[in-house]
Amino acid sequence: MYVYDQYDHQIIRDRVAQFRGQTDRYLTGELSEDEFLPLRLQNGLYVQRLAPMLRVNVPYGMLNSTQLRKLAHIARHYDKGYCHISTRQNIQFNWPELAEVPNILAELAEVEMHATQSSGNCIRNTTSDQFAGIAPDEHIDPRPYCEIIRQWSTLHPEFAFLPRKFKIAVTGASDDRAAVQVHDIGLQMVSNDAGETGFRVLVGGGLGRTPVIGSLIKDFLPQEHLLSYLDAILRVYNLNGRRDNKYKARIKILVRAMGAETFAAKVEDEWQHLKEGYTQLTTEEIDRAKSFFTEPSYQSIDDNQADADLSSLRGEHKAFDKWLNRNVRTHRKAGYAAVTLSLKPTGVAPGDITDRQLEEIAKLADQYSFGEARTTHEQNIVLGDVRKEDLFQVWQAAKDAGFATPNIGTLTDMICCPGGDFCSLANAKSIPIAEAIQRRFDDMDYLYDLGDIDLNISGCMNACGHHHIGHIGILGVDKKGSEFYQVQLGGSAGSDASLGKVLGPSFGQEEMADVIAKLLNVFVENRQGDEQFIDTYRRVGLAPFKERAYAKVN
Amino acid sequence: MPKLIKDGAIVSNEWQWLTNNDEDQATAVPEGKVIVPLAVWLDQKGSLSQRDDVGVWLENDQLPSELGDDVATLPLIAVNFPGFMDGRGFSIGRLLRDRYGFKGELRAYGNIIRDQLTFLSRCGFNAFDCREAFDLEASLASLSDFSESYQAAVDKPMPLFRRRA
- Enumerate the residues of chain A whose CB falls inside 8 A of the CB of residue B91: 158, 235, 238-239
Question: Does residue A1 fall inside a structural domain?
Answer: no
Q: Specify the pLDDT at position B39.
A: 92
- Residue ranges of chain B with per-residue pLDDT less than 50: none
Give yes or no: residues A286 and A309 share one domain: no
H-helix segments, A246-354: 251-258, 260-274, 283-291, 303-316, 318-327
Angle at A210 (CA atoms; ends A207, A213), nearest 5 degrees: 55
Residues A272-327 have pLDDT tens digits of 999 999 999 999 999 999 999 999 999 999 999 999 999 999 999 999 999 999 99
Chain A contact for B113 (CB, 8 A cutoff): yes
Number of Cβ atoms within 10 Å of the Cβ of B108: 28
A254 and A187 inside one domain: yes
Q: Name the residue facing B148 among A10, A156, A277 (closest C-beta).
A: A10
- Residue A542 clears pLDDT 60, i.e. is over it: yes
Neighboring chain A residues of B134 at a CB cutoff of 8 Å: none
Check CB contact under 8 Å for B116 and A161.
yes
Does residue A71 form part of some domain?
yes
Tell me which of A4, A37, A224, A278 to substitute to probe the interface with B (most B C-beta atoms closer than 10 Å): A278
**A274 and A146 belong to one structural domain:** yes
- State the average pLDDT over residues A17-38: 93
How many residues does the structure list for chain B? 165
| A349, A421: one domain | no
Q: Is residue A117 assigned to a domain?
A: no
For chain A, the distance separating the N- and C-terminal CA atoms, rounded to the nearest angstrom, is: 61
Query: Looking at residues A105-111, what average pLDDT do you find?
Result: 98
Let me know if residue A296 belongs to a domain: no
Mean predicted confidence (pLDDT) in A426-453: 94
Give the pLDDT mean for A333-353: 95
Query: Residue A16: its pLDDT value, please?
Result: 98
Q: Is A80 helix (H, G, I), strand (E, B) or coil?
A: coil
What chain B residue is nearest to A242 in terms of C-alpha separation? B86
pLDDT, one tens digit per residue, over A371-414 is 999 999 999 999 999 999 999 999 999 999 999 999 999 999 99
Q: Can you give the pLDDT at residue A96?
A: 93
CA distances from A132 to A137, A140, A147, A189, A414 (A): 10, 9, 13, 12, 22
pLDDT at A131: 97
Per 3-state DSSP, chain A is made up of helix, strand and coil in percentages (nearest 5) of 45, 20, 40
Residues spanned by the domain of A161: 127-291
Q: What is the pLDDT of residue A481?
A: 87
Calculate mean pLDDT across residues A420-426. Answer: 87
Same domain, A87 and A202: no
- B153 and A CB contact within 8 Å: yes
Q: Which of A17, A155, A285 sits opposite B149 (nearest CB)?
A: A155
Closest CB to A157: pick one of B99, B119, B158.
B119
Q: Across the interface, which of A18, A238, A273 has its CB nearest the CB of B87?
A: A238
Determine the pLDDT at residue B20. Answer: 60
Q: Is the pLDDT of residue A248 over 70?
A: yes
Q: Are residues A29 and A131 in the same domain?
A: no
Amino acid at A200: R
Per-residue pLDDT band for A547 (boundaries 50, 70, 90) equals very high
Which residues in chain B have Cβ-Cβ distances shorter than 8 Å to A10? 147-148
Assigned domain for A106 exists: yes
Q: Averaged over A243-269, what is the pLDDT?
A: 96
Q: For position A274, which CATH number holds? A: 3.30.413.10
Give the residue-averaged pLDDT of A185-205.
97
Specify if A121 maps to a domain.
no
3-state secondary structure of A235: helix
> Residues A183, A192: contact at Cβ < 8 Å?
no
- Do A173 and A239 belong together in one domain? yes
- Please give the mean pLDDT across all residues of chain A: 95
**Residue A355, pLDDT above cutoff 60:** yes
**A11 neighbourhood in chain B, CB within 8 Å:** 146, 148-150
> Which of A110, A136, A166 is at the close of a domain?
A110
Q: How far apart are CA A305 and CA A289, in angstroms?
A: 36
- Averaged pLDDT, A218-223: 98
User: Which residues in A have their CB inside 8 Å of a CB on B?
Assistant: 5, 7, 10-11, 14-15, 17-18, 22, 31, 35, 38-39, 121, 148, 151-152, 154-162, 227, 235, 238-239, 243, 273, 277-279, 281-282, 284-285, 288
Which pLDDT band, with edges at 50, 70 and 90, does A495 fall under?
confident
The total number of structural domains in chain B stands at: 1
Is it the case that residue A22 has pLDDT exceeding 60? Answer: yes
- Judge whether A115 lies within some domain: no
Of B104, B134, B98, residue with least CA distance to B116: B134
Angle at A519 between CA A515 and CA A524, to 5 degrees: 145
First vs last C-alpha separation in chain B? 46
Domain count for chain A, please give it. 4
Q: Find the domain containing B32 and state its range.
A: 3-163
Residues A394 and A435 in one domain: no
CA-nearest residue of chain B to A289? B161
**Which burial class, exposed, middle or buried, applies to A11 when counting CB atoms under 10 A from its CB (0-12, 13-18, 19+)?**
buried
* Boundary-marking domain end, from A401, A431, A451: A401
Q: Which residues from chain A sit within 8 angstroms of residue B123, using beta carbons?
A: 157-158
Q: What is the CATH number for A376?
A: 3.90.480.20
Question: Do A355 and A255 fall into the same domain?
Answer: no
Domain contains A407: no
Pair A350, A408: CB distance under 8 Å = no
Grade residue A554 by pLDDT with cuts at 50, 70 and 90: low
Residue B19 confidence (pLDDT): 74
Based on the domain organization, do A223 and A200 belong to the same domain?
Answer: yes
* Percent share of chain A, pLDDT over 70: 99
Mark which of A61, A81, A110 sits at the end of a domain: A110
Q: How confident is the model at residue A425 (pLDDT cuts 50, 70, 90)?
A: confident
Q: Considering CB atoms only, which of B119, B159, B161 is closest to A160?
A: B119
Among the partner-chain residues B115, B120, B148, the one whose CB lies closest to the CB of A11 is B148
0.80 exceeded by pTM: yes
Residue A204 has pLDDT above 90, yes or no: yes
- Same domain? For A505 and A428 the reply is yes
Q: What torsion, rounded to 10 degrees, do the Cα atoms A442, A447, A448, A452 define?
A: -140
Q: Kindly state whether residues A147 and A253 are assigned to the same domain.
A: yes
B72 CB within 8 Å of a chain A CB = no
Q: What is the CATH number of the domain that holds B66?
A: 3.20.20
Distance from CA of B31 to the nearest CA of A (A): 34
